[in-house]
Amino acid sequence: MDLKRDFHIDDVSVVNFINLSGEERELVRRWRNHDDIRKQMYSEHMISLEEHAGFIAGLSNDDKNFYWLVKDKKGEYSGVIYLNRTDFSNMNAYLGIYSNPDLKTQGTGSTLIDCLKKIAFEKWDLHTLKLEVIETNGRAIHFYEKSGFAVEGRLKEFVFKKGRWYDVMIMGIVNRTRNRNEIGR
């Protein structure tokens, strides 16, 4: 299985970060540094050009963390999706998404999460997906619940931001479409 490849899912192109053009890499860095996205991340510092280039270069030899830029059928950039801490022995991973902060199109988040679930469950045949979300991000928690994820736990006082501690919610979804006879193949 080529884990670094690009995908076409329905009408969407999903481009692995290691295959991005220089312009696309800068676009992703600009989004990640956008106030609306940074404030929901564990680390809110501004990502430098050097740090971003090093991060993407490191993904070439990384077999646990995978990042993609998503483009719609018109070629408009929708956002970023990623799978982290991917464990192919236990068939699970953690996920993350963020939408293009300049895009005002409804349904972008649903497109992103659907692409990610298709990669994880249909292409890679993973069994479970987990995610972490800071307790104050009610909009994201609601979105993930609508997308089939359930709260599975809480990491107490896990993130320190702006002078105080915040809990992090652990949410997950199980791939119920897997054939039990396929397990352990």
Query: Would you state the structure tokens that stand for residue 18, as one six-digit string?
Result: 């290691």
* pLDDT one-digit tens code per residue, 20-63: 999 999 999 999 999 989 888 888 889 999 999 999 999 999 99
Per-residue pLDDT, 46: 94
User: Which one, of 114, 82, 79, 69, lies nearest residue 99 by Cα?
Assistant: 79
Q: How far apart are CA 141 and CA 67, in angstroms?
A: 21
CATH code for the domain defined by 7-182: 3.40.630.30
pTM over 0.85: yes
Per-residue pLDDT, 185: 41
Q: How confident is the model at residue 150 (pLDDT cuts 50, 70, 90)?
A: very high
Is the per-residue pLDDT at 99 higher than 70?
A: yes
Is the per-residue pLDDT at 97 higher than 70?
A: yes
User: Which one, of 71, 132, 138, 143, lies nearest residue 100 by Cα?
Assistant: 71
Per-residue pLDDT, 181: 43
Average pLDDT, the chain: 92
* HEC secondary structure over 120-176: HHHHCCCCEEEEEEECCCHHHHHHHHHCCCEEEEEEEEEEEECCEEEEEEEEEEECC
Listed by start position, the domains of the chain span: 7-182
* pLDDT one-digit tens code per residue, 108-148: 999 999 999 999 999 999 999 999 999 999 999 999 999 99
User: Which one, of 127, 10, 110, 19, lies nearest residue 66 by Cα?
Assistant: 19
Q: How confident is the model at residue 183 (pLDDT cuts 50, 70, 90)?
A: very low
Rg for the chain, CA atoms, rounded: 16
User: Which one, of 111, 100, 84, lies nearest residue 13 by Cα?
Assistant: 111
Q: How confident is the model at residue 4 (pLDDT cuts 50, 70, 90)?
A: confident
Q: How far apart are CA 148 and CA 128, in angstroms?
A: 12
Query: Would you state the structure tokens that stand for residue 70, as one six-digit string?
Result: 């998503």
Per-residue pLDDT, 106: 84
Q: How confident is the model at residue 179 (pLDDT cuts 50, 70, 90)?
A: low
What percentage of the chain has pLDDT greater than the value 90?
A: 79
Contact by Cβ (8 Å): 53, 25: yes
Using alpha carbons only, what angle is made at residue 103 by residues 11 and 116, rounded to the nearest 5 degrees? 45
What percentage of the chain has pLDDT greater than the value 70?
A: 95
The strand order across the sheet containing 164-174 reads: 7-9, 12-16, 66-71, 77-87, 92-99, 128-134, 164-174, 150-161
